[in-house]
Chains A and B, each alone.
Chain A
Amino acid sequence: MTPLCYVRAGDRADALARVVNGARCLGGGTNLVDLLRQNVEQASELVDVSRLDGDVRESDGGELFIDAAVTNAALAAHPLVRRRYPVLARALLAGASAQIRNMATVGGNILQRTRCMYFYDVDGARCNKRQPGAGCDAREGFDRYHAILGASDQCVATHPSDMCVALAMLDAVVHLSGPGGDRSVPLTDLHVLPGATPQVETVLQPGELITGVELPPPSDAMVRSDYRKVRDRSSYAFAVVSVAGGLGLAEGRVREARIALGGVAAKPWRARRAEAALIGLAPTPEALLAAIREELADARPLSGNGFKIGLVERTVVAVLTTLAGARA
Chain B
Amino acid sequence: MPIRVNDTEVPAPEDARVSLLDLLREHLHLTGTKKGCDQGACGACTVLLDGNRVLSCLTLAAQAEGREVRTIEGIAGAAGELHVLQRGFVEHDGLQCGYCTPGQICSAIAMAEELRRGDPSYVTPDIAAGPAAVTREEIRERMSGNLCRCGAHNGIVEAIEAMLAETAA
Say yes or no: B145 contacts A29, CB within 8 Å: no
**Distance in angstroms between the alpha carbons of A97 and B142 in the assembled complex:** 8
Say yes or no: A99 contacts B54, CB within 8 Å: yes
- Report if A296 contacts B (CB, 8 A): no
Q: What's the nearest-Cβ distance from chain A to residue B111, in Å?
A: 7
Say yes or no: A103 contacts B59, CB within 8 Å: yes
Question: Which of A48, A97, A102, A229 gathers the greatest number of chain B CB atoms within 10 Å?
Answer: A97
Say yes or no: A50 contacts B120, CB within 8 Å: no
The segment from B15-23, B78-86, B88-96, B161-169 that touches chain A is: B15-23
**Distance in angstroms between the alpha carbons of A89 and B124 in the assembled complex:** 11
Pick the contact of B60: A6, A229, A234 (CB < 8 A).
A6
- Report if A185 contacts B (CB, 8 A): no
- Report if B33 contacts A (CB, 8 A): no
**Distance in angstroms between the alpha carbons of A160 and B134 in the assembled complex:** 30
Interface footprint category on A: 35 or more
Pick the contact of A98: B40, B65, B140, B145 (CB < 8 A).
B145
**Distance in angstroms between the alpha carbons of A29 and B56 in the assembled complex:** 11
List the B side residues contacting A100 at CB < 8 Å. 40, 55, 58, 145
- Report if A236 contacts B (CB, 8 A): yes
Interface string of B37-76 (1 = CB under 8 A from A): 0111001001001001111001110110100000000000
A-contacting residues, B93-111, CB 8 Å: 107, 110-111
List the B side residues contacting A236 at CB < 8 Å. 144-145
List the B side residues contacting A229 at CB < 8 Å. 122
- Report if B10 contacts A (CB, 8 A): no
List the A side residues contacting B38 at CB < 8 Å. 37
B side interface size, CB within 8 A: 39
**Distance in angstroms between the alpha carbons of A102 and B40 in the assembled complex:** 13
Say yes or no: A93 contacts B121, CB within 8 Å: yes
Say yes or no: A86 contacts B127, CB within 8 Å: yes
List the A side residues contacting B15 at CB < 8 Å. 3
Say yes or no: A97 contacts B145, CB within 8 Å: yes
List the B side residues contacting A1 at CB < 8 Å. 17
Pick the contact of B17: A4, A82, A93, A94 (CB < 8 A).
A4
List the B side residues contacting A297 at CB < 8 Å. none
**Distance in angstroms between the alpha carbons of A142 and B167 in the assembled complex:** 48
Say yes or no: A5 contacts B16, CB within 8 Å: yes
Q: What's the nearest-Cβ distance from chain A to residue B14, in Å?
A: 11
**Distance in angstroms between the alpha carbons of A97 and B107 in the assembled complex:** 11
Say yes or no: B54 contacts A82, CB within 8 Å: no
* Sampled A-B contacts (29; CB under 8 Å): A3-B17, A4-B16, A6-B60, A6-B62, A26-B60, A28-B58, A29-B58, A30-B40, A34-B39, A34-B58, A79-B128, A82-B120, A82-B130, A89-B120, A93-B127, A97-B145, A98-B107, A98-B114, A98-B145, A99-B54, A99-B107, A99-B145, A103-B58, A229-B122, A234-B144, A235-B122, A235-B140, A236-B144, A236-B145
A33-B60, A82-B128 are known; give 4 further A-B pairs, CB within 8 A.
Answer: A3-B16, A5-B16, A38-B39, A103-B54
Chain A positions within 8 Å of B, measured between CB atoms, are 1, 3-6, 8, 26, 28-30, 33-34, 37-38, 46, 48, 50, 73, 76-77, 79, 82-83, 86, 89-90, 93-94, 96-100, 102-103, 229, 234-236
